[in-house]
Chains A and B, each alone.
Chain A
Amino acid sequence: MPVDVADLVVAARDGDRHAFDELVRATYVETYTLAYRLTGNEEDARDVVQEAYLRAYKGLKRFRGDAQFSTWMYRITANCASTFLGRRQRNRCEELTEDLSTRDERPAASPEVQAEATALRERLQVALRALPPKLRAVVILRDVYDLPHEAIAAELGISESAAKVRLHRARKKLRDDLFARPSEEQAHAV
């Protein structure tokens, strides 16, 4: 039976600890996915997820329910990841575990379309990991999770214009990495 997240939020806000546990159960994989994409490694993602749920638990009374619970969790996770990465102040992309399993929840397409999409997705994952964490955070929150500029700016502790500049830089870098012109590819090959 599907879990009604809105009902769980109401119950948890009224102090039902079991309801909050159910909320965690219903949303932790999604939250972990975002944390992993933002931090770039499994160990940090686990820490960020734990901290994010703790903050959510403490701040649940402030959640008015005008956004979805998952969106609220994205914002908290982004904030935790930002704090975490700020503390680390170094890119740990080299520690990425390559064997992390993924689950694609989209409906199946034709084999050719699927193969092309898989190839592009793999190149995109590599390009995302290669981005500096600050650029990666903005492009993931905006273009993958569809968060508004002002929310991204607020959670990352930057101005809205800085968020936009970072987004442009991230997109340009990704585009360059994914669609390098033939002349550039040849130059790399030489």
Chain B
Amino acid sequence: MRCEQLTGSLSDAADGSVLLDGPSRAHVEHCLRCQAELAQYRKLLRALRALRTEVLVPAPGLLPEILLHLEQAGERRAIRSILTGRRVAYLGGIAAATAAGAAGAIVLASRSRRRMSLAG
């Protein structure tokens, strides 16, 4: 087995997501280059994981900025929902008026038809 064949597997082996098969393990046990590479990946992963506990301190003002942004978005939402409500009521009114008009027209038409048939 050649070292190049293990490229990629070593970083997976270092984080424990992949177990090396027999021939690969045998190669690593005898190859100083692959052992060094594996050790470097392990060190890198430890250093990366350690970053998790480190926090960056944002410049002052970020928290009020976020809260203000949320408040403004909330207000915009509320305004939108009021407008939507009004629009629904307005459209409902128009629909009701149209329906009433249509019903009235039907009643008038049927009455005039009856009057015409009685006269005729």
Contact = CB atoms under 8 A, between A and B. Distances in A.
B4 to A, nearest CB: 13
B57 A144 contact: no
B40 A29 contact: no
B51 A144 contact: yes
A25 B63 contact: yes
A157 to B, nearest CB: 23
Contact of A29 (B15, B50, B55, B67): B55
B58 interface: yes
Given A24-B67, A53-B66, A124 B54 contact: no
A89 interface: no
B73 A57 contact: yes
Interface string B37-65: 10011011101111111111111001101
A152 interface: no
A103 to B, nearest CB: 5
Nearest to A52: B66
A182 to B, nearest CB: 12
Interface residues of A, number: 44
A66 interface: no
Contacts of B66: 24, 28, 49-50, 53
Contacts, number: 114
Contacts of A49: 62, 66
B51 A28 contact: no
A37 B69 CA distance: 22
B40 A144 contact: no
A29 B57 contact: yes
A63 interface: no
Contacts of A172: 7, 11
Nearest to B45: A143
B50 A174 contact: no
B64 to A, nearest CB: 10
Interface of A: 17, 20-21, 24-25, 28-30, 32-33, 36-37, 42, 45-46, 49-50, 53-54, 57, 100-106, 117, 120-121, 124, 139, 143-146, 167-168, 171-172, 174-175, 178-179
Interface of B: 7-8, 11, 15, 37, 40-41, 43-45, 47-59, 62-63, 65-67, 69-70, 73-74
